[in-house]
Chain A
Amino acid sequence: MLRKLLELATGTGTLSTAELAERLRVPPALVGAMLEALARDGWLTDVVRKCAASCQSCPLQTRCLQGARPRIWSLNRLGVPRSRSGIRAAGD
């Protein structure tokens, strides 16, 4: 299922979790859980969370229109999840 999710995300540019849920035939919340897991394992980057961290000390935060941001993930370099690089090194 995760493989299919990544394939869908890779092939069509931008996708919403609702679209992914529809295509995978699972509840949207489950897609959210899968995305969080993929982000933890290094396949995806949680873009907005990264941004939100920098907003805490941002002097412009009161002027920022993105208070209720969509949660956004971007794909890392395909086929090279960060968490696996150590295994390859261990195997070499």
Chain B
Amino acid sequence: MSRSAQEPERAPSAHPRPARNGLLVGLAGQPNVGKSTIFNLLTGLSQHVGNWPGKTVERKEGVIVWEDTPLRVVDLPGTYSLTASSTEERITRDFILHESPDVVIMISDASALERNLYLLAELLALPAPVVLGLNMMDVAEAEGIHVEPHVLTAALGLPVVPLVATRNEGVRALLAAAVRLAQEPETFQPSRPEITTPHRDVLAQVRTLLGGAVPAPYPPGWIALKLLEGDRELSDMTRAWLPAQAWTEVATLLAAHEDAVLDIAGGRYAWIGRMMRAAVTNPRLGRISATDRLDKIAVHPLWGPLLLFALLGGVFWLTFTVALPMQEWLNVAVVGRLQSGLGDWLDGAPAWLAGLLVDGVLGGAGLVLTFVPVLAVFFVAMAVLEDSGYLARVAYVMDRFMHLLGLHGKSILPLFLGFGCNVPAVLGARVIESQSGRLLTILLAPLVPCSARLAVLAFLTPVFFGPGALPVAWGLVILNLLILAAVGVLLSHTVFRGQQAAFIMELPLYHVPNLRTIGLFVWHNLWAFLHRAGTLIVLVSVAVWALSSFPGGQIEHSYLARVGRALEPIGAPMGMDWRLLAALLSGFAAKENAVASLGVLYGKAGTKLSGALAAHVSPATGLSFLTVTMLFVPCMATVAVMRQETRSWLWTLFGVAMLLAISVAAGIAVYQTATWLGVGRYA
């Protein structure tokens, strides 16, 4: 074995193994590997519970007799490594160093061996023989992971015993192996990890500088290794042991090689990789292969975005073919009949009351309630894509896309939430540490088409474009995302210059979506929508009705018409009359209000909204209206959260003004281009 191996150099002979009656056994392992179950099986009722000296951590030990040999078994705290970053790690390594157990039994989870072997690699650097217990063999087999203990025994050079602690299988064999090793410690010749270049020589230099200053029971080679790993506790101790000049040299060397830990830990992981290759076969092979095959397309730089856009188109297609006929039926058979029945019932009532209930409440909020099938399709599609594991790929594909455009990588997380609702998207920007990155993400979040805007889009595109609705809706969403990207590039290269974050994503395996999960997601979201429709949207519908009915009952001379006409100079280049402008503005309360307002303003006198809109609004104007709706100032809940998260009215108003400018500019561009192309002028 080469000297570069992370093997324990003998501690100074001043600290021989203490004479004791029987054997001392340490039980080590990571948390949640079944260590306590095995301890209970081994020691039964003979347990003693106290505290580790000077610590609040429980120390459990028990005594058993194995073939006339008394064994004192100490249950060590669960730890991931031995680098003194936690009390548990210090206790474990101090126990091995100061109490010199005759043998350490390390329990590992056979279904996650690659995560468990790191602790073994660290234990092998300490002066105690180790037996490895492979617990949860049944779980590993159930997951398709086949571990071969005898191969692992040969590869590691130490006893490996398979276990199923919950069924008390293999525990006696484990104890027998531990006692045998404790009685014949000279047979312990394990394969240890090696330090990869370029820090082998540095380790030797540190060891030389330590000289004979390291007291028992610490092995000097292990101290040198831990110093290079950046162990603060041992660093403080070494400073006290060494003469000032020697410590200065050591400290200088350590400061120049702060990254040595990468080579030391990297050597351990390379060793783990070798052990895994030798002894573990077909880890989750079937599912990983299926996931790999699907990911060849789903996360491909070209096919990935194309698949995403195709799926988006598929969701719209499903909406148009399944949800919109249901929406139409609800509108005619339920809301229409209710309007007609309520109108008859209120025949003798004041005209304003009938107007308020029939046109204001039912014509506005009632119409919005018919969105339920449209939203249900969206939410089911989103839930299926999410629960299957695909949406995680969307985050990955889009993140890479955003990096290409120079945007902050972390922005994708909150922006991704925006497809559901812009409010959590703005709140989600909290995951970004840098203030400029967070601010940029908050400003971009409202440009992500939320489910309310997508529902408005799904409802209105067939009204304006009939059979051509699908490509128009699809194209508008793409346009939205392109504008988001363009604004992001512009801002990140001007106002928010900063470092991009490098990212690593662990994508979940694909699996069949769970019906209950989907059902709960759809129910929660639809309930939130119904709650909003029953409160905020009713209020805004009534307000729009009142403003469009007073004074005098003539809509053309109403308060709303007066305000709307004042805004017509802005609306004219976009092809919009005052009604469309009013509908657009009402969307500030909640985006669905845009449709509710159109219902109040165009759907009067028993006419169908779709027919009225098709008669009054040209395709060019419709396209312009939809474009502006998608890019317009977000709803007031989002604006309120923008203020809360930025803690600045200035940035909030900047965001609102920016979106207003973008939406108006896009509306003008779309309307003028469509008109130039002969799509149709404002009627």
Contact = CB atoms under 8 A, between A and B. Distances in A.
A41 B265 CA distance: 11
Interface string B504-532: 11111000000001000100110010000
Interface in A1-60: 1-6, 9-10, 13-18, 20, 25-37, 40-41, 44, 47-48, 50-51, 54, 58, 60
A4 B403 CA distance: 22
Given A14-B400, A65-B386, A65-B417, A44 B504 contact: yes
A62 B521 CA distance: 7
Contact of B410 (A5, A15, A74): A74
Given A41-B83, A51-B431, A75-B502, 16 more contacts: A2-B263, A13-B502, A16-B299, A30-B272, A30-B276, A33-B269, A33-B272, A35-B506, A60-B421, A68-B391, A70-B392, A70-B396, A70-B505, A72-B413, A87-B254, A90-B239
Contacts of B400: 13-14
Nearest to A7: B262
Interface residues of B, number: 78
Interface string B66-83: 000000000000001101
B410 A87 contact: no
B589 interface: no
Chain A at the B interface: SS class: helix
B261 A84 contact: yes
9 contacts: A1-B266, A16-B295, A32-B114, A35-B506, A37-B269, A48-B413, A50-B431, A65-B417, A72-B505
B230 interface: yes
Contact of A1 (B115, B270, B392): B270
B505 A16 contact: yes
Nearest to A12: B502
B424 interface: yes
B504 A17 contact: yes
A66 B115 contact: no
A26 B258 CA distance: 26
Interface string B256-275: 00110111011101101100
B428 A71 contact: no
B15 to A, nearest CB: 26
Contacts of B423: 60
Contacts of A41: 83, 85, 230, 261, 265
Nearest to A26: B273
Contacts of B85: 40-41, 83
B258 A88 contact: yes
B288 interface: yes
Contacts of A26: 269, 273, 276
Contacts of B389: 68
B91 interface: no
B297 to A, nearest CB: 14
B417 A1 contact: no
Contacts of A14: 396, 399-400, 403, 409, 502-505
B416 interface: yes
Contact of A91 (B251, B261, B430, B506): B251
Contacts of B525: 62-63
B424 A63 contact: yes
Interface residues of A, number: 63
Contacts of B382: 65
A65 B392 contact: no
In the A-B complex, the 10 residue pairs with the smallest Cβ-Cβ separation, listed nearest first, are: A91-B251, A70-B392, A2-B266, A71-B506, A62-B524, A1-B266, A13-B403, A30-B114, A65-B420, A14-B503
Contacts of A73: 503-506
A80 B259 CA distance: 9
Contacts of B112: 29
Nearest to A54: B430
A17 B508 contact: no
Contacts of A58: 424, 427
A14 B258 CA distance: 25
A35 B431 contact: no
B675 interface: no
Interface string B379-417: 000100011010110011001100100000110010011
Interface string B234-262: 01100100000000001110110011011
Contact of B255 (A34, A71, A88): A88
A75 B433 CA distance: 12
A4 B236 contact: no
A18 B503 contact: no
B261 A13 contact: no
A54 B81 CA distance: 28
B80 A68 contact: no
A63 B505 contact: no
A33 B382 CA distance: 30
B22 interface: no
B292 interface: yes
A84 to B, nearest CB: 5
Given A17-B506, A69-B392, A4 B283 contact: no
Contacts of A3: 196, 259, 262-263, 266
B417 A32 contact: no
B232 interface: yes
B235 A90 contact: yes
A1 B269 contact: yes
A82 B237 CA distance: 21
A51 B413 contact: yes
A41 to B, nearest CB: 7
A48 B258 CA distance: 27
A10 B424 contact: no
Contacts of B431: 47-48, 50-51
B430 A32 contact: no
Contacts of A83: 85, 230, 261
A79 B259 contact: yes
A40 B258 CA distance: 16
B534 to A, nearest CB: 17
B118 A37 contact: yes
Contacts of B250: 91
Given A34-B269, A41-B261, A75-B501, A18 B254 contact: no
B506 A37 contact: no
